[in-house]
Amino acid sequence: MKMIHSLILLTDMARKYKQGHYTPKNPEKCMNSGVLTYRSSWELHVFEFLDRSNSIIKWGSEVVQIPYLSSVKGRMARYFPDIFVQYKNKHGEIITEIIEIKPSAETKKPKMSRNKSTNDYNTLTYITNMEKWAAAEKYCQERNIKFRLLTENQLFAG
């Protein structure tokens, strides 16, 4: 019961980010059909960049499914990374990446606070992220794809 309460809390807290829909201006490059859903303003920022960049060959949002063992859920689960992208780098090489966009705070082991609910949420988020990202690293390594975490530190660097 405690785990279910924590999962509900995790879902409720995740809804605090700006969400909406994005229609690609260059749909021929987008692997999704129709309108895409962004789950944060940071994702929207990346969608807009990928859509208008000339070096992008193709891209998609949540188009890759990676199975992983979730200790939080106690079963196998599916992870849909935020972005799949294929682009030409400055040397003309074609690069394929899977990108996850997260606040830097969610990429580090959480610090304990006085609020138990916050501690539960932060701990479950961290555990879930580590399991997803380990599965993504393995998935990418097996396919010669790069896995990248983007935080506000990379997205909004000087």
Catalytic choice (29, 43, 51, 131): 43
Q: Is pLDDT at 6 greater than 60 in this prediction?
A: no
pLDDT confidence of residue 58: 98
pLDDT tens-digit series, residues 109-135: 888 878 888 778 889 999 999 999 999
Phi and psi at 114, nearest 5°, equal -80, -15
Catalytic choice (51, 82, 100, 131): 82
Judged by DSSP in three states, 61 sits in strand
d(CA 89, CA 92): 5
Domain ranges of the chain: 2-155
pTM for this entry? 0.85
Q: Is 138 a catalytic residue?
A: no
Please provide the DSSP assignment of 82-103 as one string.
SEEEEEE-TTS-EEEEEEEE--
Q: Which residues pair with 146 in a beta bridge?
A: 97
Q: Is 82 a catalytic residue?
A: yes
Domain 2-155, CATH 3.40.1350.10 — does that match? yes
The 8-class DSSP code of residue 30 comes to B
> Are residues 68 and 77 in contact, defined by beta-carbon separation less than 8 angstroms?
yes
Catalytic choice (102, 106, 120, 137): 102
pLDDT confidence of residue 16: 66
pLDDT confidence of residue 131: 98
Q: Is 43 a catalytic residue?
A: yes
Task: Quickly list H helices, the chain.
Answer: 2-14, 41-52, 116-143, 152-155
d(CA 26, CA 143): 27
pLDDT tens-digit series, residues 33-75: 999 999 999 999 999 999 999 999 999 999 999 999 999 999 9
